[in-house]
Amino acid sequence: MINWKWAMIGCLFSGSDCITMYRARPHGEKAARAPGSTLFIDAGSNLLHAAGRTDYNRRYLELDYNYQREMFTFTIQFKAYFNTHENQKNPVRAELSEATIYQKLEEWHWCFILLATLDTSHGEKFTLGYLTGSQRRPGDLNYQMPGRVISGAISMAVDEVNEKLLAPMGHSLDFVVAETYGQEEVSIRQVAALWAANVSAFIGPQETCVHEGRMAAAFNLPMISYYCRDVANSNKRVYSTFARTRPSDIDISRSVVAVLTHFNFMHIAIVYLKAQNHDFSRLAYAIMTAANEKKITIRTVQVYRQPYYYDNRPDNFSRNPFLDIVRETYKDTRIYVSIGYYHDHIGLMLALDAMKLLNSGEYAAIGVDVDRYDPNEAIRYLSGPLRKEPEPRVMRAFRSYLAVAPSAGPSYSAFSKEVNSRLTMPPFNFNNPLLALGGGKVIPVEAAWLHDAVWLYARALADSLRTGEAPRDGRAIASRMRNTTYLSVMGYWIHMDENGDAEGNYTLLSIDPSRPPGLYPLAVLHKVAPELRLLREMKWPGGRVPLSEPPCGFRGEKCV
């Protein structure tokens, strides 16, 4: 931002009469000041500060005003000469109201010498291009619009960065919003439009980032994604300016494979959700790739086409897609890896229970959950979103179940409350009637990754400014983000690796017979090559870990 200083020196006239005396009255009260003293005037939101002093020998009253209009701040300094004065031994009485200041600034005619100088601070304003999906295109009734529940995090982060980091350096950060409607083609066009608008960096995109990341590299602009998990973007030879605060599919798959190897589950079945706006195929592929690298045999791969919501009604249960999957696969596998939403996994466990496969402790399932674990909602993993309490057969089935989920953060509740509040503020202005009732929207973990993305860029930018490097060199900024460790808004430290991928913190969950119904931490995983560190003992049905392959083989072929 340029800070203009206007030096106005001369004689003030109102019409043709020279002003003989000024009196200042802050807040409506008279104020006496000795010669050379400073007078402060609080004149509302636009006139920020006024300081005055008197000089009897030169017979003038000198006032400095810091005057602010919109985004520019400049100083007005003038010396008002007067033709009479009081005895030097007595203090000067000043009386000048806010209304008078505005009137004189706008109506007085000046005899002056005008000097305009530039401030030497050279402060810069940096603008983020925020790529988000917060709206549906006409005719689209399915898009989930994630931006409507996470976008408050970017305004929160930008305000924090300005207050704590950039403003003390004389710089500022802002952002503009680019709507993608969750469609890759629109997202690509928005990247080009933001580049033409001269943004300093991209925050996003949301669902897709492969082509957008290539464009950011071509434009030499940093792109920090808070949502996209595409494996391809980890290639820094191609995506040289790309980083992400959302852990990649590779990172999640490492944790899943760590669980499999710990329990010696070397033969598995993969089951994943693939539906419009609910596509887990890339994550499933990453897990299969990581499993193959560890010599884990994938016996079968099954797909279901719609999320499952358990409601314990006969018509609802009959639509459970896992019933057919289990009937077709149970003879050739013992361990299922289910990739989808937490409520989908209830359907798998009920299908296994319906086939009476869990009674002997020979079968087990591992659910891969992409949503952050919420210890305050431990029961929801058994009850689903449509019920308050799980029924007994669900509790029985989940004795053979493990879940891998992003870890909970100790400061997430306060963060969630702030994001809820900011969603209703400009530039988003999303309606949230629950706030008036003391409630709010459920803020997903992507909001935290969005907040972290802004801070990650801001720290790299500040480092460049301090060292005198080009602050708009995207490759240089991106290199400063890699191989770093930062404190997430979720309350724990996260390492960003040499590929610009944040390494997630994951928790292994299971039921705990000593606690109320729900899933609770069993182990923690947060290393590059995760090692499972058990927090308690897993109570398996049958008293032992299930075998991923029967001793005689799945069809008895090894005992013939």
Is residue 314 over pLDDT 50?
A: yes
pLDDT of residue 67: 35
pLDDT of residue 188: 97
pLDDT of residue 36: 35
| Tokens standing for residue 22 | 């000024």
Residue 112: band (very low, low, confident or very high) from pLDDT cuts 50, 70, 90: very low
Residue type at 455 in one-letter notation: W
- Range 480-486 contact pairs with CB under 8 angstroms and sequence separation of 24 or more: 481/222, 481/224, 481/243, 481/456, 481/457, 482/236, 482/243, 486/452, 486/455, 486/456, 486/459
**pLDDT (average), residues 117-139:** 81
Residue 371: band (very low, low, confident or very high) from pLDDT cuts 50, 70, 90: confident
Within 13 Å and on the Cβ side, how many CA atoms surround 207?
22
Within 13 Å and on the Cβ side, how many CA atoms surround 415?
26
**pLDDT (average), residues 62-71:** 36
Is residue 474 over pLDDT 70?
A: yes
Q: Which residue has the higher pLDDT, 181 or 58?
A: 181
Query: Which residue, among 416, 404, 403, has the nearest Cα to 491 in the 3D structure?
Result: 416
Is residue 176 over pLDDT 80?
A: yes
Is residue 71 over pLDDT 50?
A: no
Percent of the chain, pLDDT > 90?
Answer: 60
- Cis status, amide bond into 427, omega within 30 of 0: yes
Q: What is the DSSP string of 94-156?
A: E---HHHHHHHHHH-EEEEEEEEEE-TT---EEEEEEEE--S--TT------THHHHTHHHHH
| Tokens standing for residue 542 | 């049958």
Helix axis angle for 152-161 and 412-423, nearest 10°, is 100
Which residues are paired to 72 by β-bridges?
Answer: 69
Count the neighbouring beta carbons within 10 Å of the beta carbon of residue 471.
Answer: 18
- Report CA Rg, the chain: 32
Is residue 266 over pLDDT 50?
A: yes
187 with 180: CB under 8 angstroms?
yes
Is residue 86 over pLDDT 60?
A: no
pLDDT of residue 527: 64
pLDDT of residue 315: 61
User: Which CATH topology does 250-407+505-534 take?
Assistant: Rossmann fold (3.40.50)
Query: Which residue, among 222, 258, 257, 224, has the nearest Cα to 243 in the 3D structure?
Result: 224
274 with 306: CB under 8 angstroms?
no
Residue 313: band (very low, low, confident or very high) from pLDDT cuts 50, 70, 90: low
Query: Which residue, among 360, 337, 359, 362, has the nearest Cα to 348 in the 3D structure?
Result: 337
Percent of the chain, pLDDT > 70?
Answer: 76
**pLDDT (average), residues 231-238:** 91
pLDDT of residue 312: 64
| Domain residue extents for the chain | 125-244+442-503, 250-407+505-534
Average pLDDT, the chain: 80
Is residue 162 over pLDDT 60?
A: yes
Query: Which residue, among 344, 339, 338, 492, has the nearest Cα to 408 in the 3D structure?
Result: 492
Return the residue matching tokens 């989940």: 398
Q: Which residue has the higher pLDDT, 104 or 518?
A: 518
Q: What is the DSSP string of 251-317?
A: HHHHHHHHHHHHTT--EEEEEEEEETTEE-HHHHHHHHHHHHHTT-EEEEEEEE-S-------HHHH
Least confident of 10-24, 114-128, 151-165, 542-556: 10-24
Is residue 492 over pLDDT 70?
A: yes
Q: Write the CB contacts of 2 (distance below 8 Å, at least 6 apart in sequence).
A: 72, 118, 119, 123
Q: Which residue has the higher pLDDT, 119 or 339?
A: 339
Is residue 72 over pLDDT 70?
A: no
For the segment 198-224, what is each residue's pLDDT rounded down to a tens digit? 999 999 999 899 999 999 999 999 999
pLDDT of residue 528: 58
Q: Which residue has the higher pLDDT, 123 or 115?
A: 123
Helix axis angle for 152-161 and 445-467, nearest 10°, is 30
Residue 74: band (very low, low, confident or very high) from pLDDT cuts 50, 70, 90: very low
340 three-class SS: strand
**pLDDT (average), residues 258-281:** 93
DSSP 170: T
100 with 31: CB under 8 angstroms?
no
Q: Please state, in angstroms and rounded to a whole number, the distance separating the CA atoms of residues 541 and 399.
A: 7
Triad 86, 92, 98: Cα angle to 5°: 130
Is residue 28 over pLDDT 70?
A: no
pLDDT of residue 123: 85
Is residue 548 over pLDDT 80?
A: yes
CA 1 to chain centroid: 26
Domain 125-244+442-503 has CATH 3.40.50.2300: yes
Query: Do 125-244+442-503 and 250-407+505-534 share a fold?
Result: yes
For the segment 505-545, what is each residue's pLDDT rounded down to a tens digit? 899 999 999 999 999 999 988 665 677 889 999 999 989 99
| Tokens standing for residue 173 | 């950060």
Is residue 57 over pLDDT 50?
A: no
